[in-house]
A = this chain, B = another copy of it.
Amino acid sequence: MFDTDSSNPTPPASSQAAPDSMQQVCKPLPASQKVYQSGQIHPQLKVPMRQVELTNGEQIALYDTSGPYTDPDVAIDVFKGLPVQARSAWVDARADTQAYSGRDAAALDDGFKNEERQQPSLMALRQQAQALQRQPRCATQKGQAVTQMAYARRGIITPEMEYVAIRENGRREWMREYLADAQREQRLAGNSLGAAIPAVITPEFVRDEVARGRAIIPANINHPELEPMIIGRNFLVKINANIGNSAVTSSIEEEVEKLVWAIRWGADTVMDLSTGKNIHTTRDWIIRNSPVPIGTVPIYQALEKVGGIAEDLTWEIFRDTLIEQAEQGVDYFTVHAGVRLPFIPLTAKRRTGIVSRGGSILAKWCMVHHRENFIYTHFEEICEIMKAYDVSFSLGDGLRPGSLSDANDEAQMAELKTLGELTQVAWQHDVQTIIEGPGHVPMHMIKANMDEQLRLCHEAPFYTLGPLTVDISPGYDHIASAIGAAMIGWYGTAMLCYVTPKEHLGLPDREDVKQGIVAYKIAAHAADVAKGHPGARARDDALSQARFEFRWTDQFNLGLDPETAREMHDETLPKDSAKVAHFCSMCGPKFCSMKITQDVREYAAQVGVSEDAALQQGMAQKAQEFQRAGGEIYLVQE
């Protein structure tokens, strides 16, 4: 465990109140409140949703990634971490894990030599995280898998499984009308392209998907703060946001705030890609405060431990890093096990070579030693570690293309085939596994990626970066990649790793992170709608209905970013009265097509062309009401 026996520790600046900016990111979104749903198999479950109150009295419950931060009833103290009671009890109840003393913490975990660690500033930093130390747990018996996959294969529906089933379904009550529309008309059905999405996600369906390896629930037993989520082709498409530590200044509030900001806008998982000093300590800060799964790339930390010299990496250092991070509660590890020695020369003629950081580190190691990648050769030993904590594999695509010109080439496909072989090894150990994918791929070559992944990797979930569909948009690569992400999401990718506008150029700031997340929420939702995830388009329908009925506030609040939508509307029509006006600034009252449509409905009812006369009559009346009411509230424009 982390050694804290030091004299004269500087006390943390505050152990109670979060700073102002933290309070800002914890404020619930407009007209929203946190509601919880309990389980049937596991009645103690409290599955969170964000309930949006519409101005017409409707209540719409949306998938909510923001965790306890947006629940005013939860006292947030980043120095203590999130309340963890619920999931701790689930893990305890399985009675197959035990607390243990853990590996000995080393100065090197934070990138320091032993003597450096005694500096007061560093002592203070570690002190800040002292209350976040937890005793690790692992499987009681050596070789035993305490993974969701192991339980699923034994027929057990864990609380985690029922939790994600409830979460994926959402509240069907408010969707009823929209779902009925979709059932009535074949035109409104999705096209799942061979996915097997049921009308209702049952806990048993979740279990079965996890057992088959078609979905994972990343959930380290040492991450009890987690609100479980599922990644799989037959579920809602998820997105990941990357965060990293600040090179210059770093405090617990600052690092946790990045996380809270990302999940506020909808990140389903967060990868902590910190490098440099203090990464062990920073990771404690993040995991203890994270309701979403945390992923890492352990080779980054391993490389720090050997002073950045790739050739000095050893299996022992890597292994020790895996255990270190597993004990902290990391939910999934990206490991570049497919960067095999014989594949490296295949990249030599590429336009942009190897563009994965992890991939290039391992390629260098392999070359210098002229030996096979140690992650590949020790893969079974890694499985033994993963299954003792339920850390999931994210098998990294170290040879992904970094330009259109390198897309779908021999190197990429050779690696993918290897990842498929390793998936089967992982599954023999009941280790949950997802597969990482490209990269830069032109639109017409995207589907082949998905098809090959499904074929070679036995339907293990695909987790892609973009793909970027052009190379010529530095500064706008969130858009270039959202195009590819939406398409591959529809084709079957389970999780999309976001790209920010700063991709290829620099480190994303707060606004870049938001832009990247929103672009990817659009891509993921577009994929959900296209696949026909039950209820996905109900939110679109509700928003469009609000749009048509000139319920401006509801239109903003059902959107992905209510505040920005309202601000944009305010720019041209700032008055409150404009939020109920029956037109907008784009067309003005004279040209408002939606207003005219009200007349159309009346007309259609009169001429009786429509089949459903009763419905029409109701609409006609509604139209008349609108006209009467509208006459008084139209603003004079121009």
A interface residues with partner B (beta carbon < 8 Å): 178, 181, 187-188, 190-191, 247, 275-277, 300, 303, 308, 310, 342, 344-357, 359-361, 363-364, 367, 370, 402-405, 407-409, 440, 442-444, 469-476, 478-480, 482-483, 486-487, 490, 501-507, 509, 518-519, 521-523, 525-527, 529-532, 537, 539-541, 543-545, 547-548, 555-556, 558-561, 564-565, 568-569, 571-573, 584-588, 590-601, 603-605, 607, 609-610, 612, 615-616, 619, 637-638
14 contacts between A and B (CB under 8 A): A310-B596, A353-B597, A354-B594, A360-B592, A443-B526, A469-B530, A470-B525, A475-B568, A476-B519, A482-B483, A502-B568, A503-B586, A504-B584, A505-B586
CA distance A593 to B505 in the complex (A): 15
The answer to whether A544 and B444 have CB atoms under 8 Å apart is no
Chain B residues whose CB sits within 8 angstroms of the CB of A541 once the complex forms: 351, 403-405, 471
Chain B residues whose CB sits within 8 angstroms of the CB of A188 once the complex forms: 405
Q: Contact partner of A360 among B476, B527, B593, CB < 8 A?
A: B593
Highest count of chain B CB atoms <10 Å: which of A188, A504, A544, A595: A544
CA distance A271 to B598 in the complex (A): 28
CA distance A480 to B440 in the complex (A): 20
Pick the 6 closest A-B CB pairs, nearest first. Answer: A353-B597, A348-B604, A360-B593, A403-B544, A345-B609, A471-B540
Closest to A518 in B: B476
Closest CB in chain B relative to A436 CB, distance in Å: 15
Chain B residues whose CB sits within 8 angstroms of the CB of A409 once the complex forms: 187
The answer to whether A537 and B476 have CB atoms under 8 Å apart is no
Closest CB in chain B relative to A268 CB, distance in Å: 16
The answer to whether A610 and B482 have CB atoms under 8 Å apart is no
Chain B residues whose CB sits within 8 angstroms of the CB of A572 once the complex forms: 506-507
Chain B residues whose CB sits within 8 angstroms of the CB of A506 once the complex forms: 568-569, 571-573, 584-586
CA distance A329 to B7 in the complex (A): 84
Q: Contact partner of A537 among B404, B519, B587, B597, CB < 8 A?
A: B404
The answer to whether B476 and A560 have CB atoms under 8 Å apart is yes
The answer to whether B475 and A565 have CB atoms under 8 Å apart is yes
Closest to A191 in B: B444
Closest to A189 in B: B444
The answer to whether A364 and B596 have CB atoms under 8 Å apart is yes
Q: Contact partner of A597 among B360, B407, B521, B619, CB < 8 A?
A: B360
List 10 additional A-B contacts (Cβ < 8 Å) besides A303-B591, A479-B479, A505-B568. Answer: A353-B548, A354-B596, A360-B593, A363-B596, A402-B548, A403-B541, A444-B531, A473-B522, A475-B568, A487-B487
The answer to whether A472 and B525 have CB atoms under 8 Å apart is yes
Closest to A440 in B: B544
Chain B residues whose CB sits within 8 angstroms of the CB of A594 once the complex forms: 352-355, 360, 402
Q: Contact partner of A354 among B303, B507, B597, CB < 8 A?
A: B597
The answer to whether B600 and A353 have CB atoms under 8 Å apart is yes
Highest count of chain B CB atoms <10 Å: which of A505, A544, A573, A596: A505
The answer to whether A529 and B469 have CB atoms under 8 Å apart is yes
Closest CB in chain B relative to A172 CB, distance in Å: 18
The answer to whether B190 and A444 have CB atoms under 8 Å apart is yes
CA distance A291 to B620 in the complex (A): 48
Closest CB in chain B relative to A170 CB, distance in Å: 14
The answer to whether B480 and A479 have CB atoms under 8 Å apart is no
CA distance A560 to B474 in the complex (A): 7
The answer to whether B351 and A544 have CB atoms under 8 Å apart is yes
CA distance A419 to B236 in the complex (A): 38
Closest to A193 in B: B444
The answer to whether B501 and A560 have CB atoms under 8 Å apart is no
Chain B residues whose CB sits within 8 angstroms of the CB of A360 once the complex forms: 591-597, 600
Chain B residues whose CB sits within 8 angstroms of the CB of A556 once the complex forms: 474
Closest CB in chain B relative to A515 CB, distance in Å: 9
Chain B residues whose CB sits within 8 angstroms of the CB of A350 once the complex forms: 597
Chain B residues whose CB sits within 8 angstroms of the CB of A547 once the complex forms: 352, 402-403, 471, 504
The answer to whether A308 and B348 have CB atoms under 8 Å apart is no
